[in-house]
Structure 1
Amino acid sequence: MKKIVPALFCALYFCVPAFSQDAKTPLSLDGIVSRLQTLSTTKATEKVYLHFDRTTYNAGDTVFFKAYLTLGEQHQLSKLSGVLHADLVNPNDSLVKYITLQVNNGLAWGDFALPNSLPKGLYHIKAYTKWMLNSTDPNVFDQPIIINSPVSPTRTLSAQQTKIANTYDIQFFPEGGTFVNDIPAKLAFKAIDHNGIGANVKGVVVDNLNTEVTKFEARHLGMGIINITPVEGRTYKARLTYADGTSATVDLPKAEEKGMTLLVNNTSPDKLLIEINANRAYYLANKNKEIGITIYSGGGAVRSVKTALDGQVLDLNLGKKDFQTGIVRVTLFSATGEPMNERLSFIQNDDLINLQTAVNKQSYTSREKVHLTLNAKKDDKPVMGYFSASVVDATKIQVDETAETTILTHLLLTSDLKGFVEQPNYYFNHVTNDTRADLDMLMLTQGYRRFEWKQILANDETTTLTYPVERGLDISGTVKTNNGAPVANGNVTLLTKNGGSMLNQVTDANGRFIFPNLAYTDNTPFVIQAKTAEGKNNTQIIMDMPKEATLFTNNNRLTGSAEAGNGDGKPGPASVYMADASGKLLKEVIVKDKFLDSHSNTITDFTDQSGLGRSLEGHLPGVSLTNGVPYLRDRIGISEAGPMLVIVDGMQGGSVPDLNVSDVESVKMLKNLDAAIYGLQGSNGVLLITTKKNKNLTVNKKLSPGLITYAPKGFYKARTFYSPAYGGTVKQANKPDDRITIYWNPDVATDKDGNATLDFYNADGKGNYRVIIEGIDENGAIGRSVYTYKVE
């Protein structure tokens, strides 16, 4: 007989993981709840989401974006970090550009200007605060963008592409984490192909007597459910058949002889139904012992209930209206506070911001002015919020709405899941019973691990932070005498070269000084003066080079330097996968820095300051430049040499770019066998040009004893999106307007009535124009609207 558990809950707010350590002493359920409450007041997690004007670009375009930085499980705009880092990463996992943005009240916006010489390919933009990087699994925002270009990509292949085709993997996940004899169970599965994409599969389950138990088939993106009741003394296998005919046989998890299961039924629109089952062996051994349940929701609330195990089946019904939209984590604890089972579900309530968008006409003509109105409401009340708006010519951009990353998919779902989530907007775009069921399978397979229970139970809140909270930018350094001795208690003065406020600091015993939490734009000129405690200026000022956290894009490892390492502080070898002209993979070559340094000609000192091309003339043996295109005269093997391969900061180009030599760190030449790592493309020789833009170098010039100028990298100042205003000059009328992004506005704010208006002009393109508006309010409520109008 089932027992109905009374819903006697205690609620608290929780917003962040604890730090990993094994549990030392058992905790009661009240102790677990108290531990969560204590941790929630001392720890905080941040998330960042970027809204782009679009995600497909051409070389030479500008990528515009707005950043929403939130804090805690209720997604309130973060007032913790004041600095956001954004990286543009190429298909070969090399950093192309990075910018630093000043965050005000959790909001910022920026852009990346794409060079005309940028090769085509799938790039990534990553965004993060340094505070996020203290986590062992940093919640870094990662958005792939497609760049089209006449410049072909390099022929290097990633390790992912070396996997053998037509190989599959499948994993099985018992609901609640346990598979127990004599209890009906849901066994979720996910099958993926060699690219990590969900694979269609079907099969049959047989037991060790070769008796067919049940059939099954993937329902969505390689995910599906096997309904099975394991029997004592039996083991089970799944005989699989994939869509291309590949077959395999795999073992199902082995059922436990005694235990409990946790089942959650999320099909009801109003109720979350929880069922706890104990098989007879477990029930007899633990009859009338206390068990506990916690329900942790995406809105940050934790509810708990205690009951006695006085029956084999216990039921608990929860009203969904009591939860915010997001992930709900149900955990079953034993009497000693040991987590036994866990089940994840996703609640979809009508609690998001409702954005109503409209234009003043049913259809428009080319270059006609559009007046767009926006109204934001939540629970039928107006919302004062912060939004960003993008309008694109939908005939020029192919959009798969199910695969889009949105403010809803990221903040509510994918940022809290492990691994790659395919088609995240499928679960939000048009919500139906089918999408809810498929979303439940996603919860059963990819799981939610914002924290591990062993971390919570460890009762150890101490940790050493690698990165403190960045409120602003720091300028720091060391003052020494001309003999190299540190200047203690010296006076350091900082002021901008163009005048303004003057700041003062006193050096410590080691001559160190720091001006913390400053706000200045890129290359702001400062003047720094240092004097001894006695007022003498016989000092030298050594500025600190900013220490940037580098994201390793393949596995998200972090380091404080710009070089990959082996964990010992030394740069590690780089794997280069070469291919011939047909794309066929050749053998892997391990490239080490020492090899390159000893087998190349490198220039780091440029005598001619008029330009890079002129400075290289005559300084690279056997190389000549024709209209900026380098040719190698002494190449071995073929009489007619083609142009050399030019790579600037990891990106392929056709000619030596017109750079100021002051912006160039080094130029390295590879030829003959040394260029073999680049395959056929390197057969004519290679020029590796490294600029200073990724080195965080600053201009530092000594004016006189104890006085220097200093121009560090600061906050990036975002560009203003250009939107033409027609109806004016003849010159405008005769100029073609082939814009893809018609309008971009990162700073849309609704008033006390929830209203805002936008005005812009259409381009020449005809067809459907797509309007996307996303945003958030001060309380963390989020919303998104997609609207389409026609241009004829």
Structure 2
Amino acid sequence: MKNPTTTIQCLIFFLLLGCFVNSQNPETLILSDKINGLILKELDSSVTQYSYHNPVEKMYLHTDRDFFSSGENLWYKAYTVLGERHLFSLASKVLHVDLIGPDTQILVSQTHELVDGKAIGSIALPKDFISGNYQLRGYTNWMRNFDDNFFFTKTIKVVGATDMHLPPQSISDSMDLQFFPEGGHSVLGLMGQVAFKAIGSDGLDRKIRGYIKDSKGKPVAHLGTITRGSGFFYLKPEIGENYTAILDNGSEYPLPKIMNQGYSMTINNTGKKNIKIKIQATEFLRKVPFYILGIINNTTYFQGAFDFDSKKSVSFEIPKNGIPSGVMALTLFDQNKKPWCERVVFINNQKELVINAKISPEKPLKRSEITVDVNVTNNDGEPVSTELSLAITDAGQVIKNPNSGNILTHLLLQSDIKGHISNPGLLFQNQNRLTLHAMDLVMLTHGWRKFPWLDLHEGTTLPSKEFDFTKGLTISGQARSKFDKLFKNVDLNVIAKSGDFVGMFSTKTGRDGKFIIPDFNFSDTTRIVFNALSSTKKPMNVKVVLDTNIITVPLSHFKSMPTVKDIEATNEYSNFSATRKNMRLLYDYNKTTELDEVVVTKRIAKRIDPSMPSTLGQTPDATLRTKDTRETGLSLMDFVARFAGVTVYGSFPYIAVSIRGRGAPLWVLNGIPVSNDIGSLRPSVPAQIASMDISNVERVELLKGPSAVIWGSRGANGVFLVYTKRGGGSELVLSPEFDIMGHAKEREFYSPNYSVKLDRHSLPDHRATLYWNPSFTTNESGNASLKFFNSDNARQFQVAIEGLSNQGTPGAYLNSFNEVEEKP
């Protein structure tokens, strides 16, 4: 992709030379005097300023399928990008995914940690779901600053157990007919194109026929849909007239108000190489220059200054070469930098990942092993090493519409315009005139990410954003002493453990005793332990009250209208539903509970029990227990010298300990790190540790190598975990513990291995999703090979592969393969 800055510099260079650039008519001059150069510079500066404060973040969810029954699992892979080049976003670290029901209620709300712009998740659809359309919605916290029409949304169909065979409900015949004058307004005396779109009360496109009449009843234009409920006609408004659309059914719809002064922008974007533009204006405006900027994702890719030079119109062309794929907004300004009209066009340079796949054997048997070979290249046939996600389904049960949306259509088109686009895949199938014309009708009849030119030109300061780029969840609360006195400016160490994942956080209370732990990215139920330290780094008793942090989510605007159901297809799919549920009960080892909301809740608050496992829940490399020795007068230093590979040397207070000749290890007393109070010039054992004898010690654990990684650089030389006895000379410190709910748990898709005979394999296998792999990578040759086992009844497979390269190039593949043979 050509650098946008280079494109702008080249255009300005031609302006300064006063050349005729991209002009269809040699009399169309690109102005080059200092005033016009300054205006273009100021306009471009406004774009740069706005783009800096409003980077465009988008996200897409690849799901294993679009059709489910209640009680099944929905699997997805998230791709999040930032900026005009669609590079993986490193700004947001938290993904939000909501499942919205037919009644607009948010039924499931999840968060996941985004790692390098990607995340993997699943939703267990409740068993009590009724049949109907549901919406899957995805977004980041930053995306909430803008219109939620630009969130990722996808409609899925769910077959419920209660009403799957109910007859379809009646649908209202009401219809909305909207008109979209090209450029924004129809202008008196100027011929212009007016597009229209007809939408039924169910949100689906409608076909219409009729005509446009003036105030005297005279027909002035024909009205008829071309595609997706849309069409267009030409209109030259006359003085004193108003216009009305009359449909064949007798219904009437008034056209938008006519402007007395203004510009008319007519664009032909059906050519493969250039965008043809014709500008007209009312008489006064033809005496002054005008300016046009072309912007994609808040980045300028075209700018020009023009003069009518006593002509009634100006025509010119913009070459598509060098401009990236996407929705480009062309905005016209006068010499006061006032925007008069705007038109969006779509540019498709067809730069995408070329993905191909094949399965072998070509006719696999029941429960036989199947190999999927994947190859990825760029448009020039060069191999691409990239990460992809893949879903293979039983095409006899469920199949994706090949013309539906995918990562390519979403990132380049659907994420930048408002409203539903039916079968967006058809708009990317080729570059013939019919396809380009259908795409241009979509551009004319859908809203887009409008640029706030008026606010910028009035010199107002850009408002601060309500929602930041979040780096993780937040834990907050208030700390008090053992006697309920506020802990002011006290250091808190927090140890967190979820499964095998362990981490440490440090924070400090304010004058009100309150604290915040940001960027918390643990998943599922997580145990956290609080330890308080004095100014001299000594452990203190602490009481903690956690805030109930409920994650608020945007309101839902999902409108699910009843539609006529394909009863035969629904029955065929649901025939195997009970069998699939039995398999899930048997194979789902990662059973989880979905919460309606993410809440931090208090679990327990107690003193550390020295008989419990390691504070970090880890298995130590070695343990010494004092009860196993009869030497009561032994010092702690003499005791730890009994560890294999541990050397103790020196005398108090300059005692040093090393593990296999390495540097000073870390000492942790009852879960709290103890700092060296002698100084770094002579690394010694902390006096508090060195002066202890084993009469008050219950055990010492040794962590080294990988076991000590959780302690970071401090544990590079190993860690000694010292636990005192209950009632010993060293008073136990109150360390509150809590269970909190982190991100949604990442679960693994179960794929049976029939090469090994197990008792559970006696169950019938009627999987709808045969294989789901949310993350695999092609090698340097662009190849990857994956294996899975067939089910009992799959005779045809649909393979769906999607991905995004590290350079921001998207790609999608969808294909069905042949039937299988019966095993004799």
Shift of 1:412: 1.3
Aligned amino acid, residue 394 of structure 1: A
Aligned amino acid, residue 296 of structure 2: S
The question of whether the paired residues in 2 share the 8 Å contact of 1:35 and 1:459 is answered with no
- Tell me how far apart the structure 2 counterparts of residues 490 and 406 of structure 1 sit (CA, whole Å): 51
Listed as ranges, the matches of 1:404-415 within 5 Å are 404-415=404-415
State whether structure 2 residue 259 is matched by structure 1 residue 231. no
Shift of 1:215: 1.6
Deviation by residue 1:675-697 (Cα, 9 ceiling, x = unmatched): xxxxxxxxxxxxxxxx9653614
Deviation by residue 1:116-166 (Cα, 9 ceiling, x = unmatched): 3333332222222112112354632222221212134999x9xxx99x822
Q: 1:131 to 1:327 in 2, by over 3 A?
A: same
Residue in 1 that maps onto 2:199: 192
Q: 1:700 to 1:533 in 2, by over 3 A?
A: farther
Aligned amino acid, residue 183 of structure 2: G
Aligned amino acid, residue 201 of structure 1: I
Residue in 1 that maps onto 2:605: 702
- Tell me how far apart the structure 1 counterparts of residues 541 and 752 of structure 2 sit (CA, whole Å): 57
- Tell me how far apart the structure 2 counterparts of residues 769 and 63 of structure 1 sit (CA, whole Å): 18
Q: 1:727 to 1:501 in 2, by over 3 A?
A: closer
Deviation by residue 1:507-562 (Cα, 9 ceiling, x = unmatched): 12121222322332221211112356586845431112224122211279xxxxxx
**2:187 match: secondary structure:** coil
Counterpart pick for 1:275 among 274, 278, 283: 278
Deviation by residue 1:565-593 (Cα, 9 ceiling, x = unmatched): xxxxxxxxxxxx9xxxxxxxxxxxxxxxx
Residue in 1 that maps onto 2:268: 265
Superposition TM-score, scaled by structure 2 size: 0.71
Unaligned runs of 5+ in 1: 10-26, 557-576, 578-662, 665-690
- Tell me how far apart the structure 2 counterparts of residues 471 and 176 of structure 1 sit (CA, whole Å): 40
Q: 1:695 to 1:64 in 2, by over 3 A?
A: closer
The question of whether the paired residues in 2 share the 8 Å contact of 1:191 and 1:199 is answered with yes
Residue in 1 that maps onto 2:392: 391
Residue in 2 that maps onto 1:515: 517
Aligned amino acid, residue 73 of structure 2: T
Q: 1:305 to 1:401 in 2, by over 3 A?
A: same
Unaligned runs of 5+ in 2: 1-23, 33-37, 562-591, 608-732
Shift of 1:104: 0.8
**1:227 match: secondary structure:** strand
Residue in 2 that maps onto 1:613: none
Q: 1:520 to 1:37 in 2, by over 3 A?
A: same
**1:264 match: secondary structure:** strand
Residue in 2 that maps onto 1:548: 551
Moved more, 747-756 or 451-460: 451-460
Residue in 1 that maps onto 2:77: 66
Listed as ranges, the matches of 1:522-561 within 5 Å are 522-530=524-532, 537=540, 539-554=542-557
- Tell me how far apart the structure 1 counterparts of residues 445 and 164 of structure 2 sit (CA, whole Å): 36
Q: 1:185 to 1:286 in 2, by over 3 A?
A: closer
Listed as ranges, the matches of 1:87-102 within 5 Å are 87-102=98-113
Residue in 2 that maps onto 1:782: 810
Residue in 1 that maps onto 2:693: none
Residue in 2 that maps onto 1:291: 290
- Tell me how far apart the structure 1 counterparts of residues 27 and 367 of structure 2 sit (CA, whole Å): 65
Q: 1:78 to 1:6 in 2, by over 3 A?
A: farther
- Tell me how far apart the structure 2 counterparts of residues 501 and 237 of structure 1 sit (CA, whole Å): 68
State whether structure 2 residue 256 is matched by structure 1 residue 253. yes
- Tell me how far apart the structure 2 counterparts of residues 692 and 373 of structure 1 sit (CA, whole Å): 39
- Percent of residue pairs bearing the same amino acid type: 28
The question of whether the paired residues in 1 share the 8 Å contact of 2:291 and 2:335 is answered with yes
Deviation by residue 1:703-760 (Cα, 9 ceiling, x = unmatched): 1475211121113332221122234327476432211111110012122222222222
Listed as ranges, the matches of 1:10-21 within 5 Å are none
Residue in 2 that maps onto 1:382: 383
- Tell me how far apart the structure 2 counterparts of residues 531 and 727 of structure 1 sit (CA, whole Å): 57
Residue in 2 that maps onto 1:647: none
Q: 1:454 to 1:361 in 2, by over 3 A?
A: farther
Deviation by residue 1:46-84 (Cα, 9 ceiling, x = unmatched): 111000000111122111100001111221100001111
- Tell me how far apart the structure 2 counterparts of residues 154 and 504 of structure 1 sit (CA, whole Å): 57
Q: 1:701 to 1:170 in 2, by over 3 A?
A: same
Shift of 1:267: 1.1
Listed as ranges, the matches of 1:562-573 within 5 Å are none
The structure whose Rg is larger is 2
Aligned amino acid, residue 543 of structure 1: L
Q: 1:766 to 1:483 in 2, by over 3 A?
A: closer
- Tell me how far apart the structure 2 counterparts of residues 470 and 390 of structure 1 sit (CA, whole Å): 30
Shift of 1:105: 0.6
- Tell me how far apart the structure 1 counterparts of residues 419 and 485 of structure 2 sit (CA, whole Å): 52
Moved more, 497-506 or 206-215: 497-506
Listed as ranges, the matches of 1:520-669 within 5 Å are 520-530=522-532, 537=540, 539-554=542-557
State whether structure 2 residue 220 is matched by structure 1 residue 217. no
Shift of 1:484: 5.3
Q: 1:93 to 1:254 in 2, by over 3 A?
A: closer
**1:32 match: secondary structure:** helix
Counterpart pick for 2:782 among 754, 776, 789: 754
Deviation by residue 1:12-56 (Cα, 9 ceiling, x = unmatched): xxxxxxxxxxxxxxx933211012123333432211100000011
- Tell me how far apart the structure 1 counterparts of residues 95 and 46 of structure 2 sit (CA, whole Å): 31
Q: 1:479 to 1:769 in 2, by over 3 A?
A: same
- Tell me how far apart the structure 2 counterparts of residues 233 and 372 of structure 1 sit (CA, whole Å): 68
Residue in 2 that maps onto 1:364: 364
Residue in 1 that maps onto 2:4: none
Aligned amino acid, residue 446 of structure 1: H
- Tell me how far apart the structure 2 counterparts of residues 459 and 314 of structure 1 sit (CA, whole Å): 31
Shift of 1:391: 0.7
Residue in 2 that maps onto 1:13: none
**1:442 match: secondary structure:** helix
- Tell me how far apart the structure 2 counterparts of residues 135 and 39 of structure 1 sit (CA, whole Å): 13
- Tell me how far apart the structure 1 counterparts of residues 306 and 44 of structure 2 sit (CA, whole Å): 16
Q: 1:8 to 1:137 in 2, by over 3 A?
A: farther
What is the Cα-based RMSD across aligned positions, in Å?
A: 3.1
Residue in 1 that maps onto 2:757: 729
Q: 1:52 to 1:5 in 2, by over 3 A?
A: farther
Residue in 2 that maps onto 1:344: 344
Moved more, 60-69 or 420-429: 420-429
Counterpart pick for 2:156 among 145, 161, 168: 145
Shift of 1:698: 2.2
Aligned amino acid, residue 526 of structure 2: T
- Tell me how far apart the structure 2 counterparts of residues 500 and 766 of structure 1 sit (CA, whole Å): 43
- Tell me how far apart the structure 2 counterparts of residues 479 and 276 of structure 1 sit (CA, whole Å): 67
State whether structure 2 residue 48 is matched by structure 1 residue 49. no
The question of whether the paired residues in 2 share the 8 Å contact of 1:203 and 1:215 is answered with yes
The question of whether the paired residues in 1 share the 8 Å contact of 2:803 and 2:812 is answered with yes
Deviation by residue 1:649-708 (Cα, 9 ceiling, x = unmatched): xxxxxxxxxxxxxx99xxxxxxxxxxxxxxxxxxxxxxxxxx965361424312147521
Residue in 1 that maps onto 2:183: 176
Shift of 1:92: 2.4
Shift of 1:316: 1.5
The question of whether the paired residues in 2 share the 8 Å contact of 1:168 and 1:194 is answered with yes
Q: 1:209 to 1:89 in 2, by over 3 A?
A: closer
The question of whether the paired residues in 2 share the 8 Å contact of 1:180 and 1:256 is answered with yes
Aligned amino acid, residue 101 of structure 1: H
- Tell me how far apart the structure 2 counterparts of residues 255 and 344 of structure 1 sit (CA, whole Å): 21
- Tell me how far apart the structure 2 counterparts of residues 452 and 459 of structure 1 sit (CA, whole Å): 12
State whether structure 2 residue 744 is matched by structure 1 residue 716. yes
Residue in 1 that maps onto 2:315: 315
